[in-house]
Chains A and B, each alone.
Chain A
Amino acid sequence: GQQLNQSPQSMFIQEGEDVSMNCTSSSIFNTWLWYKQDPGEGPVLLIALYKAGELTSNGRLTAQFGITRKDSFLNISASIPSDVGIYFCAGQKGGAGSYQLTFGKGTKLSVIP
């Protein structure tokens, strides 16, 4: 099955720095989701985006639904140690078969205190 192109694959940043990651696809998606996964745990939904161009915040997290519907971005401001984990993007096409999510391979974030 198709997978999204998520980058970067991993990041090492200093505490307090801002972080940016993105997902791109050759296909159009009508919903973009961002999840965070801690080791040995299931992914937790951070932000859901339902409209092209939409910019949504959740605390220090901000995500945008690309205007072309083929990409999405997640920014984390003023990173803290508990931001460590793997961040996944997921796209949902909508319409027939709208249930199916296509996942990126994840961005592993490490925060240096």
Chain B
Amino acid sequence: DGGITQSPKYLFRKEGQNVTLSCEQNLNHDAMYWYRQDPGQGLRLIYYSQIVNDFQKGDIAEGYSVSREKKESFPLTVTSAQKNPTAFYLCASSAGTGGNQPQHFGDGTRLSIL
């Protein structure tokens, strides 16, 4: 079954620790995205990647890092520099970046601070 898989569903971070959120897609999509969602807010773009081995910062990239070594994978690392990491993190993908290629989302990872 095609889709976007995020893991883990829940993640806890200790102070000063880096944590990595996984996102895998088997839709053969070129573009992948990471968003952060806070309660009562819309989604804000952290990073995006239009193609393998390339990625760009979104609106709130500080304290986060990504890699895109494979087409199907786009992991997000929340570093210790991100002082307010508690949020719901959503990964998305699209066939391309054109206007008629909408983004589809995974089921999210909820990150909390211990």
Q: Which residues of A contact B (CB under 8 A)?
A: 1, 3-4, 6, 30-31, 33, 35, 40-45, 48, 50, 88, 90, 92, 94, 98-101, 103-106
Given contacts A98-B97, A100-B45, are A42 and B59 in contact (CB under 8 A)?
no
- What is the 8 Å Cβ interface bit string for chain B, positions 8-36, against chain A (1 contact, 0 not)? 00000000000000000000000101000
17 contacts between A and B (CB under 8 A): A1-B59, A31-B100, A31-B102, A33-B103, A42-B6, A42-B107, A42-B108, A45-B104, A48-B102, A99-B48, A99-B94, A99-B97, A100-B58, A101-B43, A103-B42, A105-B41, A106-B40
On whether the beta carbons of A50 and B41 are closer than 8 Å, the reply is: no
CA distance in complex: A73, B4 (Å)? 28
- A22 shortest CB reach to chain B, Å: 15
> What residues on A are CB-neighbors of B2 within 8 Å?
none
A31-B99, A48-B102, A103-B43 given; 20 more Cβ-contact pairs under 8 Å: A1-B59, A30-B99, A33-B102, A41-B107, A42-B90, A42-B92, A42-B105, A42-B107, A42-B108, A43-B105, A45-B102, A50-B100, A90-B43, A99-B50, A99-B94, A100-B45, A103-B44, A104-B42, A105-B40, A106-B40
In the complex, A6 Cα to B4 Cα: how many Å?
A: 27
Name B103's closest neighbour in chain A (CB-CB): A101
Residue of A nearest to B97 (CB): A99
From known contacts A1-B59, A50-B99, infer whether A43 and B42 are also in contact, taking CB-CB under 8 Å: no
Central interface residue in B4, B43, B44, B94, by most chain A CB within 10 Å: B43
